């Protein structure tokens, strides 16, 4: 059994497992080298040879306990026919979503559109670097995908004023997302994913109707994934009440963000915990980072814990700091 599965299933492992959100990405010079020559991000995600190489880059460099496939949560809107572009120094930009298109989506064409992602998993599964490691497939949670599909750009400056105006489109999109995200989960599991992580990066934007937008849609995916026999990790970033989320949604493991005080939460959560450390700590110095890493490891010493960050690693992070981070986690007893 892999170290992460040991933590999830047996509640302990002989080593302190570690992987990092967004570990396959822009802080790695070898990724930037490939990215320079491949300006179309979606096409890069759909190139099984290059996406395999990128997925394995952080495994080869740092020996993490899991590989997270090089893909994106926005491959789901892409797969159902919404235009998705990644613009340099701006981020994702999506095309219009119209109800007629939503009505026409077929499961077969979705699976066909994303078949390179599933090929990537099959090929990673056979790769020697992956022995005794987890292969993490992932999806965006319905709320976060709804946000991108309707807002059409990142909501980092807030949702558009008319976001909630068309209740019909919102309800219909949530329904379709439930079906299509489950299909994407099933396809990833069939192709070899050993764990599924659900990213709800914009969960913190919901401040009422938690059931409608967060708990019900996520629980539906969690139940579905558990039924496939694969552990599921939830990351409802910046959500107000993590313990309540865990009680209602019941994932196999919860990834906390860096605004959560681990000391205050540990007694209130009775499932395995992942993550927490502020990725900005990796931009400081080694001593400070070590101190902060040891704080998390000490607090979670007697709680099933997988080391990770409280959000994705920042592009400006130095390789040296990641190396030191892994060393600190591995040496902690």
Q: How far is the CB of 11 from ligand CP3 (least distance, A)?
A: 26
- Break the chain down into helix, strand, coil percent, rounded to 5: 50, 10, 35
Angle value at C-alpha 73, between 45 and 215, nearest 5 degrees: 165
Figure out which of the listed residues 34, 41, 265, 330 binds ligand CP3, where binding follows CB under 6 A: 41
| Contact between residue 184 and residue 148 where contact means Cβ atoms under 8 Å apart | no
Q: How far apart are CA 148 and CA 129, in angstroms?
A: 34
User: What's the burial of 295, exposed, middle or buried (CB within 10 Å: 0-12/13-18/19+)?
Assistant: middle
Residue 309 makes CB contacts below 8 A (sequence gap 6+) with: 20, 21, 258, 275, 276, 277, 278, 279, 282
What are the E-state strand segments in 26-143? 66-68, 84-87, 91-94, 134-140
Give residues 200-219 in contact with ligand CP3 (rule: CB under 6 A): 201
* Positions 83 through 102 that interact with ligand CP3 (CB under 6 A): 86, 91-92
Contact flag: residue 72 with ligand CP3 (CB under 6 A): yes
Q: Nearer Cβ to ligand CP3, position 7 or 67? A: 67
What residues numbered 10-39 form the site for ligand CP3, per CB under 6 A?
21-26, 35
Instruction: Pick between residue 26 and residue 327 the one whose CB is nearest to ligand CP3.
Output: 26
- Name the minimum Å distance from CB 311 to ligand CP3: 6
Quick check: 43 binds ligand CP3 (CB under 6 A)?
no
Q: Which stretch binds ligand CP3 (CB under 6 A): 70-78, 101-109, 213-221, 266-274?
A: 70-78
Closest to ligand CP3 by CB, 204 or 303:
204
Contact letters (x/-) for ligand CP3, 123-142, by CB under 6 A?
Answer: ---------------x----
What's the rounded Cα separation, in Å, for the pair 17 and 47?
A: 29
Determine which helix (DSSP H) or strand (DSSP E) holds 2, and give its type and residue range.
none
- What is the per-residue binding string for ligand CP3 in 280-309, x denoting contact by CB under 6 A? ------------------------------
Is 269 a binder of ligand CP3 (CB under 6 A)?
no
Contact flag: residue 277 with ligand CP3 (CB under 6 A): no
Nearest in space to 272 (alpha carbons), one of 57, 90, 13 = 13
Query: For residue 317, is it left (φ>0), alpha (ψ between -120 and 50) or beta?
Result: beta
- Which residue, 202 or 305, has its beta carbon nearer to ligand CP3? 202
Judging by DSSP bridges, how do beta strands 84-87 and 91-94 pair with one another?
antiparallel
- Which residues face 309 on adjacent strands? 277
**Beta carbon nearer to ligand CP3, 25 or 262:** 25
The contact set with ligand CP3 (CB under 6 A) reads 21-26, 35, 41, 68, 70-74, 86, 91-92, 138, 154, 199, 201, 312
């Amino acid at each position: 059994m892999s170290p992460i599965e040991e933590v999830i299933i047996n509640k302990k492992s002989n080593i302190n497992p570690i992987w990092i959100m967004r570990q396959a990405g822009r802080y790695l010079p070898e990724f930037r080298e490939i990215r320079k020559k491949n300006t179309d991000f979606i096409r890069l995600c759909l190139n099984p040879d290059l996406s395999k190489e990128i997925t394995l880059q952080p495994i080869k460099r740092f020996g993490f306990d899991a590989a997270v496939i090089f893909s994106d949560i926005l491959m789901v809107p892409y797969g159902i026919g919404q235009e998705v572009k990644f613009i340099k120094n701006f981020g994702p930009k999506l095309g219009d979503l119209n109800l007629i298109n939503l009505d026409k989506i077929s499961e077969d064409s979705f699976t066909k559109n994303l078949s390179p992602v599933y090929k990537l998993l099959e090929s990673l599964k056979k790769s020697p670097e992956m022995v005794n490691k987890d292969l993490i497939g992932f999806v965006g949670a319905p709320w976060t995908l709804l946000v991108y599909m309707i807002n059409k750009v990142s909501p980092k400056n807030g949702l558009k004023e008319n976001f909630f105006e068309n209740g019909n489109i919102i309800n219909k999109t949530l329904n379709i997302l439930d079906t299509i995200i489950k299909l994407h989960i099933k396809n990833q599991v069939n192709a070899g994913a050993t764990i599924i992580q659900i990213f709800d990066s914009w969960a913190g934007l919901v401040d009422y109707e938690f059931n409608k937008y967060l708990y019900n849609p996520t629980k539906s995916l969690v139940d579905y994934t558990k039924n496939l026999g694969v552990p599921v990790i939830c990351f409802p970033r910046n959500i107000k009440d993590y313990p309540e989320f865990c009680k209602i949604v019941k994932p196999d493991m919860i990834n906390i963000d860096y605004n959560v005080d681990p000391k205050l939460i540990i007694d209130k959560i009775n499932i395995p915990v992942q993550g927490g450390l502020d990725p900005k700590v990796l931009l400081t110095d080694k001593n400070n980072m070590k101190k902060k890493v040891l704080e998390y490891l000490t607090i979670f010493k007697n709680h099933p814990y997988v080391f990770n960050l409280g959000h994705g690693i920042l592009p400006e992070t130095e390789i040296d700091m990641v190396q030191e981070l892994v060393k600190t986690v591995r040496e902690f007893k």
